Amino acid sequence: MILNAEMGDQSRHKIGLYTSLESAELLPFRLLRYGEFTSDSRYYTEREGYRSCLLLATISGCGELRYAGQEALLTPGRTAVIDCSHYQYYATHGEEDWKFVWFHFVGTAADAFVQMINGSGLRVMEWERWRAEELYGELSALTAAPGRQTDFLVSLWIHQLLSELAQSSDGRTAARYQEEMQRAAAYLRDNLEKPLRVGDLAKRSGLSEYHFLRVFKSIIGQPPYEYLTLLRVSRAKQLLAFTPLSVAEIAEQVGYSDARGLIDNFKRHTGLTPSRFRRISRGSEGMA
């Protein structure tokens, strides 16, 4: 197992341990330990080769998770389930403390459920924030009296929880991504004249910049920069055809710092310079 970690000087942790009976090894799920952690800005854990699955659910602040070649931000209510035998890195994102609840589990069905939730990558699920806030207390109460019956109840509880998350990963998360990407596209349409900062758009959507770029392209059809360029060229066409503004003035209105930026992108997408497009659109020059 590879493990690198920095706990941070101001981090606060409460941990619960649970020891099941030997007979519980045949159950679909077994709880190993659980906790509620408030981590400062220095906290991170980097690990691989640990035979356990892990659930992380954010209560407040924000965490960053890297897993299966993907990255995601864990804002309040967002939940991830991962297989710790694969590489993972999670850390506090930003300067605010990250408060989250977690539990490690194994079992005959554990790996299959994690794969069902994540597919071949990582799916971060939306959860009501109060569920994350109450999770530590639920586990403490559930494991107060260890024994055979408790082992069965814990296994059933984990099964129900993962089933709920698996359903949300296929439904509400996909719907949320659609909504967030459409909102991001609308923002670009309404702010053509402003510089594009993908990091700001990603933060609005609760995603890492890397993950935002992938989701935006899959839903909108182009990367954000290309989509914005198409919007700017389309708007420039309207201004060229129906206003007396100069090419330099139009370039400024659609977000370019100088006319050259507009000319290069306009010609790349239309095959024409802005000036020639203007003449053609006004009937003073025919198409060759």
**Positive or negative torsion for Cα 120, 162, 65, 83:** negative
Quote the percentage of the chain above a pLDDT of 90: 41
CA atoms within 13 A on the CB side of 166: 14
Backbone angles phi, psi at 35, to 5 degrees: -170, 170
Is the pLDDT at 1 greater than 70, yes or no?
Answer: no
Question: What is the residue whose two structure tokens read 């930026």?
Answer: 261
Mean pLDDT of the chain: 86
Q: Report how far residue 179's alpha carbon sits from residue 48's, in angstroms, rounded to the nearest whole number.
A: 34
* Banded pLDDT at 204 (limits 50, 70, 90): confident
CA dihedral over 176, 177, 181, 182, signed as positive or negative: negative
Nearest to residue 65, comparing CAs of 142, 127, 123, 126?
123
The pLDDT value given to residue 5: 64
In the chain, where the domains are located: 2-170, 178-288
CATH domain 2-170 topology:
Jelly Rolls (2.60.120)
pLDDT > 60? residue 170:
no
Tokens standing for 166? 């698996």
What share of the chain has pLDDT > 70, as a percent? 92
Strand order in the sheet with 2-6: 2-6, 44-48, 88-92, 63-67, 70-74
Average pLDDT over residues 25-35: 92
Is residue 13 within 8 Å of residue 35, measured between CB atoms? yes
Tens digit of each residue's pLDDT (9 = 90 or more) over 206-250: 777 877 887 887 777 778 998 899 899 989 998 998 999 999 999
Predicted confidence at residue 175, as pLDDT, reads 60
- pLDDT tens for each residue of 99-114: 999 999 999 999 988 9
- Range from 10-14, 82-86, 158-162, 230-234 carrying the lowest mean pLDDT: 10-14
Q: Which homologous superfamily is 178-288 in? A: Homeodomain-like (1.10.10.60)
Per-residue pLDDT at 22: 84
Averaged pLDDT, 2-20: 76
Mean pLDDT value of segment 46-66: 93
Q: What is the pLDDT of residue 181?
A: 85
Three-state secondary structure call for residue 73? strand
> Worst-scoring range by mean pLDDT, 152-156, 185-189, 210-214, 267-271?
210-214
**Sequence-ordered strand ranges (E) for the chain:** 2-6, 12-17, 30-39, 44-48, 53-60, 63-67, 70-74, 78-83, 88-92, 98-106, 125-126
Residue for token pair 């004249």: 193
**Is 90 exceeded by the pLDDT of residue 124?**
no
Task: Tell me the three state secondary structure of residue 106.
Answer: strand
Higher pLDDT, 249 or 118: 249
pLDDT, greater one: 163 or 175: 163
Tokens 């930003």 belong to which residue? Answer: 94
pLDDT at 169: 56
Q: Between these two residues, 6 and 251, which has the higher pLDDT value?
A: 251
Q: Given pLDDT bands bounded at 50, 70 and 90, which one contains residue 288?
A: very low
The pLDDT value given to residue 287: 47
Element (H, E) at 87: none
In the structure, what pLDDT confidence band is assigned to residue 172 with cuts at 50, 70 and 90?
A: very low
